Amino acid sequence: MVSKEVILTHGGLLKLEKELEQLKSVKRKEVASRIKIAIDFGDISENSEYEDAKNEQAFIEGRIITLEKMLRNAILIDEGEINTDNVSVGSTVTLKDLEFDEDVDYTIVGTAEANPGENKISNESPVGKAILGKPVGSIVEVSVPAGNIKYQILSIKK
């Protein structure tokens, strides 16, 4: 099976590396200590502390595997090469919602960095797909669960 490429900005790469280091150096030790303490209580068959710690350990190990795989398959966006003629991954785009006459800024990132709360949307999201490759002035229609939204691309920045 071919692993999927993970598109990252430099900031996104640093964030994933920091999370991986935290999980390996701090969280693993904390959970191992919790498991040891729970075992010291005796019978682990009905020990909820032990079960909770084992579940957290499984989650942490799974996340470590996921992060390592993402970092192995990372494609780093060279922010110096971001083209401002057309929307691309790494672009910050100002869109005008033509129905509500409101402007919104989005930074287009890979799925691993997407965070709608920070206005970072994935290149694979409905809006991301609709605007990728489009120049300033383009009007795009995006199909979302609530219906269709029309946006005009007002600006493209690095």
The pLDDT tens digits of the residues spanning 34-54 come to 999 888 877 777 778 899 999
Q: Which CATH number, 3.40.190.10, 3.90.260.10, 3.20.20.80, 3.10.50.30, labels domain 82-157?
A: 3.10.50.30
Question: What is the rounded CA–CA span in Å between residue 10 and residue 79?
Answer: 8
pLDDT in tens, 75-119: 998 877 788 899 999 999 999 999 999 999 999 999 999 999 999
pLDDT in tens, 1-43: 456 889 998 889 999 999 999 999 999 999 999 999 888 877 7
Indicate the DSSP class of residue 117: G
Q: The domain at 6-76 falls in which architecture?
A: Orthogonal Bundle (1.10)
Return the ∠ at Cα 76 (arms to 124 and 144), rounded to 5°.
10
Taking the whole predicted model, whether its pTM rises above 0.85 is answered as no
Residues 6+ apart with CB under 8 A from 69: 3
Return the ∠ at Cα 26 (arms to 24 and 32), rounded to 5°.
85
